[in-house]
Amino acid sequence: MTHPFPSDSALYGGIEAGGTKFVCAVGTGPDDLRAEVRFPTTTPQETIRRALDFFRDQQDRLGGAICAVGIASFGPVDPNPASPTFGYITSTPKIGWRNVDLAGEIRQGLNLPVGFDTDVNGAALAEGLWGAAQGLDTFIYLTVGTGIGGGGMVGGRLIHGLLHPEMGHIRIPHDRQADPFEGCCPYHGDCLEGLACGPAIAARWGTRPEDLPPDHPAWALEAHYLALALANFVCTLSPQRIILGGGVMRQHHLFPRIRAEVPELLNGYIQARPILDKEEMQKYIVPPALGARAGVLGAIALARQAADRPNP
């Protein structure tokens, strides 16, 4: 794979824009994060000002070495550079953040090229460059936590189209006799996120997921829902690898259950070794290699992309 980025001496800024906290960092990659600050996500005005203050201060210290900033944002967002609302956070339920021009404020405030994408596409890009998907051109990254989000690459490009993928909101079979819980998605009720995100587990069983023991029936059900989703993604996107991150996936006993159930659901139809061979499957559905740093490294990776392909 050729190196798609301009210069290894340049520095990049990254903003992991989360619904509860922002993480801003300067560096070039996982072995070189030079400065980092984190603060709670409050109003857009205050939060964006704190990010701008951090990068202006860093630019002064570093003699203007930062050549681009990447933003890996909570969403939904408008990731289409041709759209008048490119870089906006759009229909988020988070109070005050609807229709906020996050990328524009950062670009104008720092006068630098800005890369902008969903947090999960950013994390996927970072895992592709430095983590669990190195060398692959088609893979997905699914995070299972407070919500469920998915991003990834197809043919070496981050997945965009109409907007960006919303893999957490696919509809999956829901046996209401086995699981009477209605689901907690405000839009769809029992979509994947509504049935399988952390708050859904907590609401269904009346206990925080981290307090449920590994042999609790909650986990067989959780693995079943995630396996149904992954079987759909295998059929639609044909990923060469699937990375599962997020707080719920810190329950590592979920991995063997999901790895066992996905091939059962596909039932011999997908003739590919990772699906048919148990050993290969171990390397097919995997945890992230960058762990909790995938978010901010995703933002740095988006900055590297933006420096190479500045938006207008």
- State the minimum distance, in angstroms, from the CB of residue 166 to Zn ion: 8
CB closer to Zn ion, 193 vs 222 = 193
Binder of Zn ion out of 1, 91, 187, 260 (CB under 5 A): 187
- State the minimum distance, in angstroms, from the CB of residue 39 to Zn ion: 29
- State the minimum distance, in angstroms, from the CB of residue 49 to Zn ion: 33
Binder of Zn ion out of 50, 94, 171, 188 (CB under 5 A): 188
Interaction of residue 171 with Zn ion, rule CB under 5 A = no
Choices 40-48, 107-115, 143-151, 189-197; region in contact with Zn ion by CB under 5 A: 189-197
- State the minimum distance, in angstroms, from the CB of residue 162 to Zn ion: 17
Residues 6+ apart with CB under 8 A from 68: 10, 12, 13, 112, 113, 114, 115, 303, 304, 306, 307, 310
- State the minimum distance, in angstroms, from the CB of residue 76 to Zn ion: 12
CB closer to Zn ion, 14 vs 76 = 76
Contact 154, 128 (CB under 8 A): no
Interaction of residue 94 with Zn ion, rule CB under 5 A = no
d(CA 234, CA 223): 16
Interaction of residue 191 with Zn ion, rule CB under 5 A = yes
Choices 128-136, 190-198, 276-284, 285-293; region in contact with Zn ion by CB under 5 A: 190-198
d(CA 1, CA 43): 42
State the amino acid at position 236 in one-letter form: T
- State the minimum distance, in angstroms, from the CB of residue 196 to Zn ion: 11
Positive/negative CA dihedral, 257, 195, 286, 25: negative
Binder of Zn ion out of 169, 171, 216, 250 (CB under 5 A): 169
Residues 6+ apart with CB under 8 A from 58: 13, 26, 35, 66
Interaction of residue 200 with Zn ion, rule CB under 5 A = no
Interaction of residue 185 with Zn ion, rule CB under 5 A = yes
Radius of gyration of the chain (CA): 20
CB closer to Zn ion, 50 vs 169 = 169
83 half-sphere exposure, CB direction, 13 A CA radius = 17
- State the minimum distance, in angstroms, from the CB of residue 193 to Zn ion: 5
- State the minimum distance, in angstroms, from the CB of residue 180 to Zn ion: 18
CB closer to Zn ion, 90 vs 240 = 90
Size of the site for Zn ion (CB under 5 A): 6
CB closer to Zn ion, 196 vs 294 = 196
Contact 8, 307 (CB under 8 A): no
CB closer to Zn ion, 187 vs 269 = 187
Task: Tokens for 70, please give them.
Answer: 């990447």
- State the minimum distance, in angstroms, from the CB of residue 150 to Zn ion: 12
Over the window 124 to 163, marking each residue x when it contacts Zn ion by CB under 5 A and - when it does not, the resulting string is ----------------------------------------
Residues at the interface with Zn ion (CB under 5 A): 169, 185, 187-188, 191, 193
